[in-house]
Homo-oligomer: A and B are copies of this chain.
Amino acid sequence: MNIQDIATKINGKVIGDAQHAIKFPAKIEDAQQNNITFLANIKYLDFVYLSNAGCIVISSDVYNENMKGNFILVDDAYSAFSKVLSIFNAEVTTEISDKAFIHPSAKIGIKAHIYPFVYIGEHVTIGDHCIIYPNVTINAHCVVGNNCILHSGAVIGSDGFGFAPIPDGSFHKIPQLGNVVIEDNCEIGANTCIDSATMGSTIIRKGVKLDNLIQVAHNVEIGEHTVIAAQTGISGSTKIGHHNMIGGQVGFVGHISVAPFTKINAQSAIAQTIKKEGLVLCGTPAFDMKQYFKSTIVFKSLPEMEKRIRDLESTINQLKNT
């Protein structure tokens, strides 16, 4: 494949040798003459001058004539390079491993790739074009839409964590009769757990992307196109709005709702309902992120601040006594 072939596919304009051959994509600092790479972040601009890459995908705004080598000019280099990666990505194979367990009552759509050691329980429904990596468990009655990717070790439809206290101090398990519904175009990270609802469904709306090691408790609902980073946990019955962007290791208490377009910084705790759209939150418990960072700066100097108060108190005592 040459540079012109790639430029045509990503709708870009070639500067330099359009016939130059490209073998594979690489990072800008590693790229050699047979590699294509990209510059999306101005912070790394110096790399363009130092790079030995065969071709660099770059925004027309950023390119200038002092840059030497071959380029493909595009509007949005990040998004265009994502298409370049797709060109070089291995063809998805369609295969259902005979080392997977698929209950006879389960329904699997067309063009699925189901790897070894996947467990698919009774009456599970899986849509078209899904990839289910090794060691995934999908328990009875769960539903997975079209074009979904479930990474290794993900557990869909484990029992919700519900127990009623008994007077003798022990707990009685509350049966979990519901299921999990994952709509179209979702990606579920490795070792992420999504519990079944007690009754009804735990729902992952279309386009949601969950990273690895996330906990989604029973009866949670996650709105369309919300993206959640690794190790975040969402407690029972909480409803996350659409288009949220949620960092890693965030915690949500149960039975609250979060407005659409909320952004939540890593390690925050969301302890109550967020009604206003578009907030940017941070902290335990979370509040406005800018305010939070101002508070953390003062937090560092709390011991000195306490001393300043002590000094003030002693000065005032002197003043009062004179």
Q: A89-B177, A135-B135 are in contact. Are A233 and B235 (CB under 8 A)?
A: no
Given contacts A135-B155, A217-B230, A249-B249, 8 further A-B contacts (CB under 8 A): A27-B199, A89-B175, A101-B134, A137-B190, A159-B187, A161-B189, A193-B212, A312-B313
A residues neighboring B (CB under 8 Å): 24-27, 30, 78-79, 82, 85-86, 88-90, 97, 99, 101, 115-117, 119, 133-135, 137, 139-140, 149, 151-153, 155, 158-159, 161, 163-164, 166, 169-175, 177, 185, 187, 189-191, 193, 195, 198-200, 207, 209, 211-213, 215, 217, 219, 225, 227, 229-231, 233, 235, 243, 248-249, 251, 253, 266-267, 269, 284-285, 287, 291, 294-303, 305-306, 308-309, 312-313, 315-316, 319-320
- Nearest CB in chain B: distance from A98 CB, A: 10
Task: Report Cα–Cα, A6/B155, bound state, in Å.
Answer: 33
What are 11 A-B contacts defined by CB distance under 8 Å? A78-B164, A119-B152, A153-B153, A163-B209, A191-B193, A294-B302, A295-B299, A305-B309, A309-B312, A312-B316, A319-B320
Q: A117-B119, A164-B79 are in contact. Are A231 and B230 (CB under 8 A)?
A: no
Residue from B207, B297, B305 in contact with A298 in the complex, judged by beta carbons closer than 8 Å: B305
Residues of B within 8 A of A213 (CB): 191, 193, 213, 215, 233
Task: Report Cα–Cα, A287/B302, bound state, in Å.
Answer: 13
Q: Which residue from chain B places its CB closest to the CB of A292 in the assembled complex?
A: B300
Task: Report Cα–Cα, A99/B302, bound state, in Å.
Answer: 59
Most buried by B among A116, A235, A269: A116
Task: Report Cα–Cα, A189/B151, bound state, in Å.
Answer: 18
Residues of B within 8 A of A26 (CB): 199-200
Whether B215 and A233, one on each chain, are in contact in the complex, defined by CB atoms closer than 8 angstroms, is: no
Residue from B24, B25, B79, B117 in contact with A135 in the complex, judged by beta carbons closer than 8 Å: B117
Whether B305 and A308, one on each chain, are in contact in the complex, defined by CB atoms closer than 8 angstroms, is: no
- Nearest CB in chain B: distance from A55 CB, A: 14
Residue from B82, B149, B231 in contact with A231 in the complex, judged by beta carbons closer than 8 Å: B231
Residue from B82, B249, B300, B320 in contact with A172 in the complex, judged by beta carbons closer than 8 Å: B82
Residues of B within 8 A of A187 (CB): 159, 173
